[in-house]
């Protein structure tokens, strides 16, 4: 129960910060989501740093990793998790899995958004 609460709290904080950054920076460009781009880039950097510290051993506890990496970064951006998972495939020289996971995630994601929009129009 404590672990779920840590993920919940971190996720809420990450989501609020993502909202504030996107609201602040997205209006500056009409053809580029600067806020979202910044959030995704910062989230990737942060999850890499946090999981690197966690892997070293004594730097972050399991609960701190849940709060910060799983919760905060997960709420801040799921792109950070996606990028880390793809990096794991590359690090393990699993180029086929990297390619399949990346392409299928992006294609299915776009199809899912389009489908959701289409379904919402039916209601």
Q: Where are the domains of the chain?
A: 2-77
Indicate yes or no: pTM above 0.75. Answer: yes
Quick one: which of 64, 105, 113, 112 has its CA closest to 86?
Answer: 105
Q: Residues comprising the binding site?
A: 74, 77
With b meaning 16 or more CB within 10 Å and e meaning fewer, what string describes 95-113?
eeebeebbeeeeeeeeeee
Radius of gyration of the chain (CA): 17
Stated as kind and residue range, the H or E segment containing 11 is helix 2-25
Instruction: Specify the pLDDT at position 80.
Output: 83
Annotated binding site for Na(+): 74, 77
Q: Is the pLDDT of residue 28 over 70?
A: yes
Q: What is the pLDDT of residue 123?
A: 67
């Amino acid at each position: 129960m404590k672990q779920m609460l840590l993920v919940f709290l971190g996720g809420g904080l990450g989501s609020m910060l993502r909202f504030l950054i996107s609201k602040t920076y997205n209006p500056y460009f009409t053809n580029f989501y600067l806020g979202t781009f910044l959030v995704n880039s910062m989230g990737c950097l942060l999850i890499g740093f946090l999981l690197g510290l966690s892997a070293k051993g004594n730097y972050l506890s399991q609960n701190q990793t849940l709060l910060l990496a799983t919760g905060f970064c997960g709420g801040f951006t799921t792109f950070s998790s996606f990028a880390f998972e793809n990096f794991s495939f590359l690090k393990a020289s699993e180029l086929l899995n990297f390619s399949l996971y990346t392409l299928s995630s992006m294609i299915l994601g776009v199809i899912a958004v389009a489908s959701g929009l289409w379904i919402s129009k039916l209601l």
